[in-house]
Amino acid sequence: MKKCSQCEKPAVIYRKYEGRHLCSAHFMRSFEKKVKATISKYEMVDKNDVICVALSGGKDSCATLYILKKIFGKRPDIKIFALTIDEGIKGYRDESIEMAKKLCKRLGVEHHIVSFKDEFKMTLDEKIKESMGGSHTRPDTAHLPMKVERNTRERESSMLANMFLKKREPSPVGRRSEWKSGPCTYCGVARRYMLNKCARKFGATKVATGHNLDDEVQAIFMDYINGNLSRASRMGKTQNPWNGLENGISDNVVSAVKEKLFIPRIKPFREIPEKEVALYAILKDMDAQFAECPHVTGIRFLTRDFINDLEANHSGSKYSIVETFNKILPCIQMTIEKKIESGEGKLARCKICGEPSSQEICKTCELWRNGG
């Protein structure tokens, strides 16, 4: 067994991009330091912030809540609470909600749970069934990676964390091409919508999500593949959808800014590889969900495998892709601003629900309230 590069203890991880082996204690110390550096680099947290952590119960969001509480828990001016959105995915989300509850209890964090069913009168499972014309049966979740059992943690932590670099097959349902919109579209649109609306309702000034370096790189690639510049333009510093739009571009935008309809997003793990977030969650003995949503579709798997192959052969690629993206982001934002000036994608309020939208009827109402 390899030894830690900084002490005599056995290593739990080899960071190829640094050429260092690290033991459990040195890894955790370095991990926490990196997260703190990321938070200050992107100026994610301000004085008097009320941070809403989007807590699904998955490893990334659990680790996000844990570390934010660790860093800011003693600051009297900063408040942290957790928000869980129950999409209604049987055998998957019901399990992770229990884990989310447990973690909040352990950390003494206020916890709110809201559901698709309450907001849209329908669970995600029901919505997918409806959009498939009733022919769809739910995928078997037996093929999903396992939950990490407590007693295996330290000893096998490194092997477990490496699991996130393995090629993963999409579930049979994820491969299907007959969706009107992919299940991830229905889910993602509604989840972002509820996250913003509910975080605002509960008084948040920031929304923290568990997106890690791998998620970020995948999102950058997906935006390229789909030609989605306006989405890419919102991946900036603090994830404020109207960042840089305050300068009188449109009255609607200005009023949305003034009324604080959008809560800026922060991603403290933006520069931390998924494998390391998983390892941290395991070593901190978090009872988090490690399985993947059964509805994930094919393109995401292809993108992820491609990026992992790239990183394996050319270490540091993931980080470099995000850094390069940071540099070209101002240009992307300028392009989008010009579009908005010319009248495309102006921000207004949705006619049905009153939430901010660039269309008369927002995407969520179109997909979920049959507003189209």
Match 């992770």 to its residue by tokens.
96
Residue 339 and residue 345 in contact, taking contact as beta carbons nearer than 8 Å:
yes
Nearest approach, Cβ of residue 91 and Zn ion (Å): 30
Asked if 318 touches Zn ion (CB under 5 A), the answer is no
Q: Given the complex with Zn ion, which of 181 and 317 has the nearer CB atom? A: 181
In this structure, how many other beta carbons lie within 10 angstroms of the beta carbon of residue 183?
25
Give the per-residue SS3 of 204-217.
CCEEECCCCHHHHH
State which of residues 122, 204, 365, 367 lies at the interface with Zn ion (CB under 5 A): 365
Asked if 194 touches Zn ion (CB under 5 A), the answer is no
Residue 92 and residue 296 in contact, taking contact as beta carbons nearer than 8 Å:
no
Asked if 190 touches Zn ion (CB under 5 A), the answer is no
Q: Which of residues 333-352 bind Zn ion (CB under 5 A)?
A: 350, 352
Q: Given the complex with Zn ion, which of 189 and 208 has the nearer CB atom? A: 189
Asked if 44 touches Zn ion (CB under 5 A), the answer is no
Say which residues have a Cβ less than 8 Å from residue 231's Cβ, sequence separation at least 6. 223
Asked if 13 touches Zn ion (CB under 5 A), the answer is no
Q: Which amino acid, one-letter code, is at 68? A: L
State which of residues 26, 93, 192, 300 lies at the interface with Zn ion (CB under 5 A): 26
Nearest approach, Cβ of residue 142 and Zn ion (Å): 37
Q: Given the complex with Zn ion, which of 157 and 297 has the nearer CB atom? A: 157
Q: Given the complex with Zn ion, which of 30 and 230 has the nearer CB atom? A: 30
Asked if 189 touches Zn ion (CB under 5 A), the answer is no
State which of residues 66, 362, 367, 368 lies at the interface with Zn ion (CB under 5 A): 362
> Hey, which residues does 84 pair with through a beta bridge?
113
> In the chain, where does DSSP find H-type helix?
24-41, 59-72, 93-107, 116-120, 124-131, 153-162, 172-175, 183-201, 213-226, 229-233, 251-258, 274-283, 298-313, 317-341, 363-368
Asked if 161 touches Zn ion (CB under 5 A), the answer is no
Nearest approach, Cβ of residue 1 and Zn ion (Å): 13
Asked if 6 touches Zn ion (CB under 5 A), the answer is yes
Say which residues have a Cβ less than 8 Å from residue 92's Cβ, sequence separation at least 6. 141, 144, 289, 291, 293, 294
| Nearest Cα to Cα of residue 242 among 232, 224, 228, 256 | 256
Asked if 7 touches Zn ion (CB under 5 A), the answer is yes
Q: Would you tell me which residues interact with Zn ion (CB under 5 A)? A: 4, 6-7, 9, 23, 26, 350, 352-353, 362, 365
